[in-house]
Amino acid sequence: MIYTDIHEITTLTQYFYPHQGATSQLMTDLAKGLSSRRYSVNIFTGTPAEQTIPESLNQININRAFSPIKSSISIYSKLASSIFFLLGALWYVIFSVPRNKPLLIASNPPYAGVLGICFKIIHRGKYYFLVQDIFPESAAMSGIIKANSIFYKFLSKLIYLTYKYSECIIVLSTSMQEFLEKKYPDLKLKIKVIENWAIEDIPTVSKQENRFAQQHKLDKIFTVLYSGNLGRLHDIETITEAAIILKNDPIKFVFIGDGAKTKIVRQAIDTHNLKNIILLPYQPRESLSLSLTACDISLVSLIPGAESIVAPSKLYGMLAAGRGIISISLPNSYIDQLLTNSNCGINVPPHNPEYLADIIRKLQSDEERVKLMGERARKLYEDKYTFHRALGEYEHILFS
């Protein structure tokens, strides 16, 4: 099906500008990118905690669900907020979404795909499902629900129907694609990979000239950065244990972000009186080009098995920043292969803080290797992971 007249698209996503999370910023980028290519873009989203809530952005029409719930990392507040979003989005789908135009649904919340089924039944419309993480496996791995429980099986069936009736299932990595193809072989032809991008055009600034690094006294010490969600699927424990091992070395660990495992970082700082860890909140988007380059090496981490069900968006910002990467993931994971094949990073198996500490020590004493890793990271980003590449792939899937 080729859409005629003005190309118009509606996107349902619980998180959108001015929310500061990675999903919000990526969905905002996508909407702005499509708008810049003369598409008419409608957004239905949740209500953030911020006081100033714009109703338009770059000619994008923004509609918001009512919610009295403030942003929180609590599971219960997240659930309540998602319910308010779904109720508002259902009303919007029934009465406001053009029936002959594409509907893109982001999997936040993961069961938002039921809105696509409603759209298909009521309007015979076509919807596309963007899978941020594979559900309910991600919830089970996070310990939120029990694997193979009755509720788990119900959610699995619901998600399958969401996939089945969609025009296309968009996933963020080849590992996610392989997982779904193995689980749902009948849907293989529907599954497409569009990898994420850096959420900011990041110039490669040296750390010594970086105002953010200077502000936090990082410009004269070897710095290891973890920037992003400190969530349940991320192996934060290995990083903090490595920091304990290296507490007397001239090495600084910087955590920027928030999430369910933030308390693990705070506990390590307090229990071991660590002076080599700095914990900072999420930085404004306009500061990302400075915060992501205020280091010598970046970290990305996943608990065992998570590499098949999620794709950490922070990876692309690290590549764009021109910094070498240490990944904590299972051997031969897609992240391991990406870093190894491009020689821009090193993979460390999960739950091995001694090995991680040893790798960091070796890099701290090998300035030339760190520099080369960073240069290769930037080249890999420019060759394969720019926003314009991803935008073209979305445009092709949604409008042809």
Q: Say whether the peptide bond before residue 109 is cis (omega within 30 degrees of 0).
A: yes
pLDDT beyond 50 at 3: no
Asked whether this chain's domains 8-197+386-399 and 207-384 adopt the same fold, the reply is yes
What's residue 6's pLDDT?
A: 57
What homologous superfamily is domain 207-384 in, according to CATH? Glycogen Phosphorylase B; (3.40.50.2000)
Cα(160)–Cα(234) distance, integer angstroms: 26
Closest CA to 108 of 244, 229, 263: 229
Among 116-125, 227-236, 284-293, the range scoring the smallest mean pLDDT is 284-293
Q: Is residue 154 within 8 Å of 174, Cβ to Cβ? A: no
Domains of the chain, residue spans: 8-197+386-399, 207-384
- CATH code of the domain made up of 8-197+386-399: 3.40.50.2000
Q: 291-322, pLDDT tens digit by residue?
A: 999 999 999 999 999 999 999 999 999 999 99
Average pLDDT over residues 138-164: 96
Identity of the residue numbered 387: F
Higher pLDDT, 231 or 200: 231
Bridge-based pairing of strands 60-64 and 56-57 is antiparallel
What's residue 70's pLDDT?
A: 62
Cα(44)–Cα(116) distance, integer angstroms: 13
CA dihedral sign of residues 111, 113, 119, 121: negative
Cβ neighbours of residue 128 closer than 8 Å, sequence gap 6 or more: 102, 103, 104, 105, 166, 167, 168, 170, 397, 398
Bridge-based pairing of strands 127-130 and 103-106 is parallel
Cα(9)–Cα(31) distance, integer angstroms: 9
Alpha helices in the chain, H assignment, sequence order: 22-36, 75-95, 114-123, 137-141, 150-165, 174-183, 211-215, 236-245, 262-272, 288-291, 314-320, 334-342, 353-364, 367-384, 387-399
pLDDT band at 77 (very low <50, low <70, confident <90, very high): confident
What's residue 204's pLDDT?
A: 78
What's residue 2's pLDDT?
A: 42
pLDDT band at 47 (very low <50, low <70, confident <90, very high): confident
Cβ neighbours of residue 7 closer than 8 Å, sequence gap 6 or more: 38, 39, 40, 399
Look over the chain and give the mean of its residue pLDDT values, rounded to a whole number: 93
Among 5-14, 239-248, 318-327, the range scoring the smallest mean pLDDT is 5-14
Higher pLDDT, 5 or 59: 59
Angstrom CA distances, 293 to 104, 254, 258, 325, stand at 33, 12, 19, 12
Average pLDDT over residues 364-386: 97
Q: 233-289, pLDDT tens digit by residue?
A: 999 999 999 999 999 999 999 999 999 999 999 999 999 999 999 999 999 888 999
Instruction: Report the number of secondary-structure helices (H) and strands (E) in the chain.
Output: 15, 14
Angstrom CA distances, 110 to 106, 135, 160, 271, stand at 8, 6, 12, 36
Average pLDDT over residues 328-344: 95
Cα(328)–Cα(347) distance, integer angstroms: 6
